[in-house]
């Protein structure tokens, strides 16, 4: 287990179950998108992202510490508590972690419902041909956040962190640089794919990316950022809003 890897080399039941669960969930959404010709572009994009994430996860589990004692390709799904950076977080129980997840997601939900402003732009696709249920529509859009979180913050961020640490051997510099680079990549993706070119939307996406990276770094778990992203996207359809706020 290397210093420069946010993920661990431990193959635990929680990690295997989480990877399989996320794979099933994302495969379902890709199927939904691909079955509507108007969403073929998005289906192709997300299918490619999830394929890369899954390959990286398998590589991370199979080829451990093969480069100077660490992994160049790193992923974070559900890592052991011993990987968390602070003792208070390592001592946190699962129940306490779930309470934090509930409080953060609850705050996001009530913030969006009261202000009508999303934390980050959410794609709604053309999902109404499949259902007239706003619950189901909101759920599908929420799942898009699952895929983006796994790819950008469960794969890109840990890998960027590993690559920078390998060069600098400075933890603080590595953390700041990898967070900013990963958030910028996330923002660029939204700008190119969804056309979020205005300044407020771009700032919102960038700050949201920083937020998700921090969650990954602190808890070494994809569950909190996934639920955070899912809640934002769910609210996009549930409250029928596309307005974003640069202030999170």
Render pLDDT for 17-71 as a digit per residue (tens, 0 to 9).
878 887 787 777 677 766 766 667 777 788 888 888 888 888 877 765 555 555 6
Distance of CA 97 to the CA centre of its chain: 17
Helix (H, G, I), strand (E, B) or coil at 213: helix
CB crowding 89-102: b at 16 or more within 10 Å, else e: eeebeeeebeeebe
Facing residues of 221 across strands? Answer: 78
Alpha carbons within 13 A on the beta-carbon side of 218: 15
pLDDT category, 102, cuts 50, 70, 90? very high
| Average pLDDT of the chain, as a whole number | 82
Alpha carbons within 13 A on the beta-carbon side of 128: 4
d(CA 185, CA 145): 15
Res 216: pLDDT: 96
What is the percentage of the chain residues whose pLDDT exceeds 70?
A: 80
Res 64: pLDDT: 58
Residues 6+ positions from 157 with CB-CB distance below 8 Å: 6, 76, 178, 179, 182, 212, 213, 216
């Amino acid at each position: 287990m290397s210093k420069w890897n946010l993920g661990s080399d431990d193959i635990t039941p929680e990690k295997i179950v989480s990877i399989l669960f996320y794979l099933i969930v994302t495969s379902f959404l890709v199927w939904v998108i691909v079955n509507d010709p108007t969403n073929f572009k998005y289906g192709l994009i997300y299918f490619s992202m999830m394929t890369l994430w899954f390959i990286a996860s398998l590589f991370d589990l199979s080829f451990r510490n093969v480069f100077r004692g660490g992994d160049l390709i790193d992923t974070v799904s559900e890592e052991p508590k011993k990987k968390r950076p602070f003792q208070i977080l390592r001592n946190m129980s699962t129940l306490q972690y779930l309470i934090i997840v509930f409080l953060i997601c609850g705050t996001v939900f009530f913030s969006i419902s009261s202000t009508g402003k999303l934390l980050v732009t959410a794609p709604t696709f053309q999902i109404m041909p499949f259902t007239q249920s706003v619950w189901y529509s909101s759920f599908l859009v929420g799942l898009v956040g699952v895929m983006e979180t796994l790819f950008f913050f469960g794969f890109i961020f840990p890998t960027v962190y590993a690559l920078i640490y390998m060069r600098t051997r400075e933890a603080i510099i590595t953390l700041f640089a990898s967070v900013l680079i990963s958030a910028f990549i996330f923002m660029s993706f939204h700008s190119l794919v969804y056309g979020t070119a205005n300044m407020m939307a771009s700032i919102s996406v960038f700050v949201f990316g920083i937020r998700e990276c921090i969650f990954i770094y602190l808890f070494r778990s994809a569950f909190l950022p996934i639920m955070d992203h899912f809640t934002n996207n769910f609210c996009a359809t549930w409250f029928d809003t596309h307005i974003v706020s640069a202030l999170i």
